[in-house]
Each structure stands twice: as structure tokens, then as C-alpha cells.
């Protein structure tokens, strides 16, 4: 497989890049000629431990001594432009070779799963489980995705041209790429973010999910009836947490656009189907359906999804009865998609912080004259009070945030009436810290006009910090002892979704503690729910990199035993994870298939509690606690926040205009880790190529075990427990993407030198001990394709990283008369770095 990568990606990249570097589009004809020379200067300079500024000074002394500082900066911007487009070229090459690279069925592929279970008993077991199983991927617009729509279109066309070896078209597209703007001059609105991700729904997920459902149906036969096996969720336009720009109208517009997008997909599908159903009894029926859908897309009244389904079923019945079933399978393909996507395409989730809800509740109770009574009550009494207190107030007297919150809840009902109940049926409460947080949300639904207990909405608590994860079982047990919540859960068929946030957990407690804390919380919650006869659906808020729960996601889910409820997998995907893992139909099919098989395997072949022997669990607890203390020592270091603020790119994150949401929950200028969002936190470490959140604490704890003569216990844990093995394999990815020589100049800094040396020491220590524990010769030996891709991507952006660090040095030292230009250069370097790293934040 490594040879295939070299031939299909690495070699072709060198070939097409040589063409690309000769294209004179940048305004300076020799930019492409000079870039390889800069690359060489960077490699030699970093090996010699020169500062990034010294590397550029040496380069210009040799190749641009006649240039003024302004001219040098202009040339550096041109270099960055070239590198951005080299990354796009590499993306397109990897996409074009996807089937060849991933063509051999691995243990997580659907093909491998079906091949293993061939006898009738096993197939019946697999069919039964698939009928009750589900995977939901939820697209989010967190600011980790950079490519605007115009560039995504070029990537799509470039990938197709490379597949067919259309060299002239490739050259034309590279020219187009050179002249196409790569970044947003203004921050996108939440609705614009929604539109950009709906592109993936129409162009990728409609096709990949439809094809997968058809393939699975053929494998499992007529007994397979689960139309909800693969589901889509959607956060843009509904996620209000920390984003003041999302309002009820944004949600309303997003829901309407999702409806139009899926109707367009059905219409295009009918156009293709019409080319085959040319029979007297079918032609006019299809034309009538086309006219109906066209009118509905324009906003006119039409038919319900039930009526649409019935008419398509009638077409299939005609084919079966009069034309020997000719093309009936193609009609079945459309029917599966209708049952999967309805008239809503993806379920639009709403989310808000519990602290905002509390403020809103107090505002309403104040208007009712009962706020003081409420605040004087204990938790259980306050919960009962919220559902019984008389509501008498003038809504015009309420605070603006209160009215906006109530309107957002009312929009959910609108969307359910227009697009179907599944269109907007989950409301997520971030920062859940008590049972009262959930009762306050129930109260808000009551105020917004919902009545009774059978409200068709799932109220989803989100537990994120180390403390909240530890309290989660207690909070849920308190809710399950409360009659109104019991009635609501029963009305939701005994299913309780719970969201767990990897991002803030890692920021709060470090890599190992966050992951183990979530696993442990899932186990305890599962036990509590099963004891009461409830079924949990865990919704994982996972980011792109291992530091935010990403990495080899399918390995994580395959590692869960039967002590964790796993009948459904719900997880967020965002930014570069969308474009890299779900950017093409083939990639999406491959990765969705892996998620399906990972969850199925964890149940059908579950090793059960035995994988967690008493000894293994004890060692895991000890490792987690000790790594947590190591991370807390770092986080509580007196220079920690100052280092983040002064030595990394954190302060520039908000200026990239990648996403609509502010980098901090509060707008004050003081850096507070609690208010700092996980994405800029993790992303800043990634831009510096230090990747601290993805490994810090592991080296320290492993070294301690080695000194105590107990490293063999950790080695046994790695080989015996899939969950721990997946964590360490993902940590290797963080280490592989790190580049400490890039920032080695900080070692000489009077204030931060010792702090940086500590980070580097932990990086080196972790890498060395991981190799010892896993018996690997090099990091990621178990994933040579991933390692080869990472190394080539990091090689491509080396000059960009040096340029960004040199600009930071200039700004930090107050050098040069072009401060604004150097700041813009720092910001511009974000984009190529983010896109090359793919799961950078």
C-alpha cells in the first residue's frame, strides 16, 4: 500500500508541482523558481537550529539582496500563495487515488465484515443488529474549515481531471487556482456557513449514503428494513453557544435551505431515472413528480413526504407487475434515500449554554414576580416549581436575549411542521452542571408554548469538563428520579441522548484524563440507564485532531466493549475532517462504512468486561490520574497563559475570518482559559507545531512507571485493551505532526526558554517511550499510509511555517516598519497550515 501511495500520490505530486511552479500567475515571474530554493534554505536552517528570521535573512542575502523590506514581504506573500495551492494540488491527488489507496479491504471495511459472516446464522444475527443500529454524523461549522466554495469546486474538478489524466485540463485548473481568492475578507455569517456545508450534503452525502444503503440491502436481503441506519445531523444555523450571530431567522432560513437542497437532490434523481422509465405508465407519473418538486423548491405548496413516498412506490409496483421488475432496483434506491433524508436532509440541532438559560429563566421569573421565591429553593423544589408556577407576564418586558431564546425554541416547532418531526428534534445544553439545568430548559419550552409531556424534542445534556463528567451519573440519576423527566423519557420511547465533549475535556484535564473520564462516565451512565430500562445514545463532540477526540475514530468505536451502550454512534465532524474524510463520495463511503463496522463489531464480537481486568483498570486509573497531575502542573505554570498569549498565534486566530463564531465566549481582552474555546486553544498549539494537548502528560507518566520498574504493566495494557491502544496510536499522530526545531529559538528566550524546553522534553520523552511500549521502530508504523501523507504534507508547508514564525518574531521584537504587513502575513499563513494538517483544530 505504501508503494501505491508513492506512485499515485507522491510521484504525481512532484510531476504536477513542477508544472505548477512554472505558471506565471503571481505577478512576480520567478516566484515559482525561488520557492524550491527557499525550501532548501528552510531545511538546512532548521537542521542547524537557526531562528526562522535568520533563515529568511540568509535566503534573501543569497537570492534577493537587492530587495527592500516591502519587496521581501511581497515575495513572502507570493510564496504563501503558491504553498496554499500546492496543498490543494496534494488534496486533489489524494482524493483521486482514494480507491486505489484504500481499495484493499481492511478489518474495518464493510466488505470484510460481510465476508466474515457468510453462514445463514451469522447473516441473520448481522441483519438483526443492523436493523436496530444507527450512525449519525453531525456536520458542524466550527472554524477549522478554510476552503471557500469556489475553491472546493476547483478541487472537485481537479480531482476528476487527474483521475482521467487530462493534463491540459489540469494545467487550466492550476491556472484558475492561481488566480482564485483563497480566504474570506469578511467573517462569514452563520447562514453562509450553513450554505457551505449543505454543498457536502448535496454533492457527497446524498450519493454516498444512498449507495451504501443499496449495497447493504443487497448483502442482507429483504429482511433489512432499517432506513435510519445512516443519518445526518447539522449544527450551522442552530448552534447558539457563544455565537450571538445565530438567531431564530438564521435557523428558519437554514431549515428552509436544507429542505430545498434535498428536494433538488430528489429532482435530479428523477431526471436520471426518467431516462430509463420510458414506459407509458411511468413517463407521465415522473413528469408530474418533477413539476411538483420544482414548484416546492420555489416555495409553493406541494405534497407530503408520505405522499411522495407512495407515488414512488407506485412506480416500483408498476415495474414489478408489468415490466418484469426492470429498473425496479433503481426506484428502490430512490426510496431508500427518501426514507433516510425525508424532506429535511439533516436534523438541525439547537444548542445553547446552560448559563444563558439560567439568566433567561431568571428574567422570565422576575417578570412574573417569582424570581426571589425560585432562588430560595433547593434543587428538587426548584425543579418542581418551574413546572407549576403560574406564568403571567408581558413578553415585551423581557430582555432581548430572553425573547431570542424563546423564539429559537418556537422555530423548532415550525420546522417540524414544515419538514417533519426529525427536521429539528434535539436541543443540546452545553456546560450541563446540574439536573436543574435540564429542568430550566423544560421550563423554557413550557413558556414558548409547548404543552404536555409528549413534546417531540430530545433534551440533550452536554458534559465536558473533568468535574462535570464525574458528576454526570449523579445528575442523570436525579433526573430519572424526577417524575416529569421520567414521563418525557417514556414518551421518547425510553431513549436518552447524552452528549460528551472531548474538546473542552482535553483543555480542562489533558489528553489521557479527558478520554478516560469520558469512557468511565459512559460506563457508569450505561449501568444506571440499563438498571432503569432506558437506552442511552451517546453523542460524541469530537474534533479533528486527537487533542479534540479525533484521529482514528473508527478504532475508538471498535474498542468499546459491552459495558458502554453502543446501539448508535452519534458524532460531530467538522472542518478539515469533513473535507478529508468525507470530501468525496468514495471517501465518505469508506469512512461511513468504517463507522458502521466499528460499532457492529464492538457488539457482535464484543470482548466484554474481560478486556478490563481488575489489574488493567487499576493501571489505567493510575496513568490517568498521574497524567492529569502532570497536565495541571503545566496549566497552572505561572507562564502558561502568557506563553499562549505572547508566543503563539492565539491572538490572531479571530482575524482569520474562517468562522462566524468568536474565539472566546466573552469579549473582554483578558485571557481566561475557561472562556477560551477549544478550537483556538488546540489550533494555536497546532500552528506552532507543538501539539501539546494531543500528548502532554503521557511521557511524564510513562517515565515514572519505567523508573518504578512497572513499564511492563503499561505494555500489557497497550496490547490487551483496544481502547488504550487506540489512544496511544492517536497520540502518535499528534507527535508525528509536531516540529519542535521550528520553534527551538524560544529556548533562548529569557522569560519562556525554560517553559519551551519543558514542552520539548515531554515531546521527546513521549515519543521515545511510545516506541518502547509498542515495539515500533518509528511512530505510526501501524499506519504507514497516514504517516507518508503527514510527512509529505508537512514537507510542503515547511517554508510557510518558517515564514509565519519569522513574522511572529518580527512583531514580538518590534522590528521593521511594516508591522501591519507582518501581522497580515502571520494570519495568511494560518490557511495553508490548517488545510495541510487537515485535522489541525
Q: Are residues 623 and 536 in the same domain?
A: no
- Domain end among 782, 802, 824: 782
In tens, the pLDDT along 530-541 reads: 999 999 999 998
Alpha carbon dihedral 143, 148, 151, 156, in 10-degree steps, equals: 80
Q: Are residues 372 and 479 in the same domain?
A: yes
**C-alpha neighbours within 13 Å on the C-beta side of residue 262:** 25
In tens, the pLDDT along 561-580 reads: 788 998 899 999 876 678 87
- State the pLDDT at residue 708: 98
Q: Would you say residue 240 lies in a domain?
A: no
User: Which domain range does residue 530 map to?
Assistant: 349-541
Q: Are residues 655 and 530 in the same domain?
A: no
- Say which residues have a Cβ less than 8 Å from residue 242's Cβ, sequence separation at least 6: 353, 661, 662, 664, 665, 677
Q: Are residues 530 and 651 in the same domain?
A: no
Stretch 721-744: mean pLDDT: 94
In tens, the pLDDT along 92-128 reads: 999 888 888 876 446 678 888 888 888 888 889 899 9
User: Is pLDDT at 60 greater than 70 in this prediction?
Assistant: yes
In tens, the pLDDT along 591-600 reads: 999 899 888 8
In tens, the pLDDT along 612-624 reads: 899 999 999 999 9
Per-residue cell: 394: 408581558
H or E element: which one contains 497?
strand 495-501
Q: Are residues 772 and 665 in the same domain?
A: yes
Count of domains forming the chain? 2
Q: Would you say residue 498 lies in a domain?
A: yes
Q: Are residues 622 and 508 in the same domain?
A: no
- Domain end among 782, 801, 819: 782
Q: Would you say residue 48 lies in a domain?
A: no
**pLDDT top residue among 553 and 68:** 68
38-52, 352-366, 444-458, 690-704: which range is least confident on average? 444-458
pTM over 0.85? The answer is yes
Q: Would you say residue 296 lies in a domain?
A: no
In tens, the pLDDT along 466-478 reads: 899 999 999 999 9
- Secondary structure of 402-462 in the HEC alphabet? HHHHHHHHHHHHHHHHHHCHHHCCEEEEECCCCHHHHHHHHHHHHHCCCCCCCCCCEEEEE
- Say which residues have a Cβ less than 8 Å from residue 268's Cβ, sequence separation at least 6: none
Stretch 677-704: mean pLDDT: 93
Q: Would you say residue 669 lies in a domain?
A: yes
Q: What gap in Å lies between CA 271 and CA 261, rounded to an integer?
A: 15
User: Is pLDDT at 16 greater than 70 in this prediction?
Assistant: yes
Q: Would you say residue 808 lies in a domain?
A: no
- State the pLDDT at residue 778: 97
Average pLDDT of the chain to the nearest whole number: 90
- Domain end among 514, 541, 568: 541
Q: Would you say residue 839 lies in a domain?
A: no
Alpha helices in 669-752 (DSSP H): 678-687, 698-707, 711-720, 722-736
Q: Are residues 488 and 623 in the same domain?
A: no
pLDDT bucket at 656, cuts 50 / 70 / 90: low
User: Is pLDDT at 489 greater than 80 in this prediction?
Assistant: yes
Query: How distant, in Å, are the alpha carbons of 212, 738, 806 from that of 741?
Result: 45, 9, 13
In tens, the pLDDT along 295-309 reads: 999 999 999 999 999
DSSP assignment string, 135-152: EEEEEE--TT----HHHH
- Say which residues have a Cβ less than 8 Å from residue 733's Cβ, sequence separation at least 6: 545, 546, 551, 552, 694, 780, 783, 786, 790
pLDDT bucket at 543, cuts 50 / 70 / 90: low
Q: Would you say residue 573 lies in a domain?
A: no
Q: Assess contact for 727 and 659: CB atoms under 8 A.
A: no
Q: What gap in Å lies between CA 346 and CA 352, rounded to an integer?
A: 19
Amino acid at each position: 500500500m505504501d508503494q501505491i501511495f508513492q506512485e499515485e500520490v507522491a510521484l504525481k505530486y512532484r510531476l504536477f508541482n513542477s508544472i505548477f511552479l512554472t505558471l506565471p500567475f503571481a505577478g512576480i515571474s520567478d516566484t515559482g523558481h525561488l520557492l524550491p530554493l527557499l525550501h532548501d534554505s528552510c531545511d538546512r536552517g532548521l537542521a542547524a537550529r537557526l531562528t526562522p528570521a535568520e533563515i529568511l535573512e540568509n535566503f534573501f542575502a543569497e537570492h534577493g539582496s537587492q530587495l527592500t523590506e516591502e519587496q521581501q514581504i511581497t515575495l513572502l506573500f507570493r510564496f504563501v500563495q503558491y504553498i496554499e495551492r500546492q496543498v490543494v494540488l496534494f488534496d486533489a491527488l489524494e482524493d483521486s487515488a482514494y480507491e486505489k489507496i484504500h481499495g484493499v479491504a481492511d478489518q474495518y471495511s464493510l466488505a470484510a465484515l460481510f465476508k466474515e459472516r457468510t453462514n445463514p446464522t451469522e447473516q441473520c444475527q448481522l441483519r438483526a443488529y443492523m436493523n436496530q443500529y444507527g450512525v449519525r454524523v453531525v456536520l458542524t461549522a466550527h472554524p477549522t474549515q478554510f476552503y471557500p466554495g469556489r475553491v472546493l469546486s476547483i478541487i472537485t474538478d481537479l480531482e476528476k481531471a487527474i483521475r482521467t489524466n487530462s493534463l491540459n485540463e489540469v494545467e487550466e485548473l492550476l491556472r484558475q487556482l492561481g488566480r482564485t481568492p483563497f480566504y474570506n475578507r469578511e467573517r462569514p455569517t452563520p447562514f453562509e456557513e450553513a450554505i457551505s456545508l449543505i454543498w457536502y450534503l448535496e454533492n457527497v452525502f446524498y450519493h454516498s449514503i444512498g449507495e451504501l444503503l443499496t449495497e447493504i440491502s443487497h448483502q442482507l436481503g429483504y429482511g433489512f428494513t432499517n432506513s435510519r441506519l445512516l443519518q445526518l445531523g447539522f449544527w450551522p444555523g442552530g448552534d447558539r453557544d457563544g455565537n450571538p450571530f445565530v438567531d431564530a431567522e438564521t435557523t428558519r432560513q437554514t431549515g428552509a435551505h436544507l429542505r430545498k437542497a434535498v428536494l433538488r437532490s430528489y429532482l435530479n434523481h428523477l431526471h436520471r431515472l426518467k431516462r430509463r422509465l420510458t414506459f407509458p405508465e411511468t413517463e407521465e407519473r415522473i413528469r408530474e413528480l418533477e413539476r411538483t418538486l420544482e414548484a416546492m423548491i420555489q416555495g409553493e405548496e406541494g405534497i407530503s413526504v408520505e405522499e411522495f413516498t407512495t407515488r414512488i412506490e407506485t412506480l416500483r409496483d408498476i415495474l414489478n407487475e408489468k415490466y418484469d421488475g426492470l429498473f425496479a432496483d433503481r426506484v428502490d434506491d430512490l426510496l431508500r434515500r427518501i426514507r433516510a433524508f425525508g424532506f429535511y436532509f439533516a436534523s438541525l440541532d439547537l444548542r445553547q449554554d446552560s448559563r444563558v438559560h439560567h439568566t433567561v429563566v431568571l428574567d422570565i421569573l422576575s417578570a412574573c414576580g417569582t424570581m426571589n421565591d425560585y432562588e430560595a429553593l433547593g434543587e428538587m423544589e426548584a425543579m418542581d416549581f418551574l413546572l407549576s408556577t403560574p406564568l403571567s407576564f408581558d413578553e415585551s418586558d423581557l430582555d432581548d436575549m430572553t425573547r431570542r431564546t424563546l423564539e429559537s425554541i418556537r422555530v423548532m416547532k415550525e420546522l417540524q411542521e414544515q419538514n417533519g418531526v426529525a427536521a429539528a428534534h434535539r436541543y443540546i445544553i452545553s456546560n450541563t452542571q446540574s439536573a436543574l439545568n435540564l429542568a430550566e430548559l423544560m421550563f423554557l419550552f413550557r413558556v414558548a408554548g409547548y404543552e404536555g409531556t409528549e413534546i417531540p424534542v430530545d433534551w440533550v445534556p452536554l458534559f465536558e469538563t473533568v468535574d462535570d463528567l464525574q458528576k454526570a451519573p449523579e445528575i442523570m440519576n436525579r433526573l430519572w428520579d424526577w417524575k416529569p423527566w421520567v414521563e418525557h423519557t417514556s414518551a421518547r420511547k425510553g431513549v436518552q441522548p447524552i452528549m460528551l465533549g472531548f474538546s473542552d475535556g482535553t483543555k480542562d484535564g489533558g489528553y489521557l484524563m479527558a478520554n478516560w473520564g469520558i469512557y468511565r462516565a459512559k460506563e457508569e451512565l450505561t449501568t444506571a440507564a440499563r438498571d432503569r430500562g432506558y437506552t442511552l445514545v451517546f453523542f460524541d463532540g469530537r474534533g479533528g485532531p486527537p487533542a479534540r477526540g479525533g484521529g482514528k475514530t473508527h478504532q475508538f468505536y471498535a474498542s468499546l466493549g459491552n459495558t458502554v451502550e453502543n446501539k448508535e454512534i452519534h458524532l460531530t465532524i467538522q472542518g478539515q475532517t469533513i473535507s478529508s474524510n468525507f470530501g468525496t463520495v468514495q471517501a465518505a463511503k469508506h469512512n461511513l462504512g468504517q463507522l458502521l463496522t466499528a460499532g457492529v463489531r464492538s457488539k457482535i464480537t464484543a470482548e466484554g468486561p474481560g478486556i478490563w481486568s481488575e489489574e488493567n483498570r487499576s493501571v489505567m486509573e493510575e496513568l490517568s490520574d498521574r497524567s492529569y497531575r502532570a497536565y495541571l502542573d503545566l496549566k497552572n505554570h505561572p507562564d502558561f497563559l502568557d506563553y499562549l498569549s505572547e508566543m503563539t498565534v492565539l491572538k490572531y486566530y479571530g482575524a482569520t475570518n474562517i468562522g462566524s463564531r468568536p474565539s472566546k465566549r466573552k469579549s473582554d481582552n483578558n485571557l481566561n482559559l475557561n472562556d477560551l474555546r477549544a478550537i483556538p486553544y488546540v489550533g494555536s498549539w497546532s500552528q506552532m507545531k507543538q501539539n501539546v494537548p494531543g500528548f502532554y502528560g503521557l511521557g511524564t507518566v510513562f517515565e515514572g512507571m519505567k523508573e518504578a520498574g512497572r513499564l511492563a504493566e503499561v505494555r500489557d495494557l497497550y496490547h490487551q485493551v483496544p481502547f488504550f491502544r487506540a489512544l496511544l496510536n492517536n497520540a502518535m499522530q499528534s507527535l508525528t505532526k509536531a516540529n519542535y526545531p521550528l520553534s527551538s529559538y524560544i529556548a533562548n528566550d529569557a522569560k519562556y526558554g525554560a517553559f519551551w524546553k519543558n514542552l520539548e522534553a515531554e515531546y521527546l520523552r513521549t515519543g521515545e517511550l511510545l516506541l518502547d511500549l509498542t515495539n515500533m521502530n518509528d511512530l505510526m508504523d501501524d499506519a504507514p499510509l497516514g504517516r507518508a501523507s503527514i510527512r509529505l504534507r508537512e514537507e510542503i508547508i515547511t517554508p510557510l511555517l518558517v515564514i509565519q514564525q519569522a513574522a511572529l518574531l518580527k512583531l514580538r521584537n518590534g522590528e521593521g516598519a511594516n508591522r501591519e504587513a507582518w501581522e497580515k502575513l502571520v494570519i495568511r499563513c494560518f490557511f495553508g497550515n490548517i488545510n495541510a494538517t487537515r485535522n489541525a483544530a
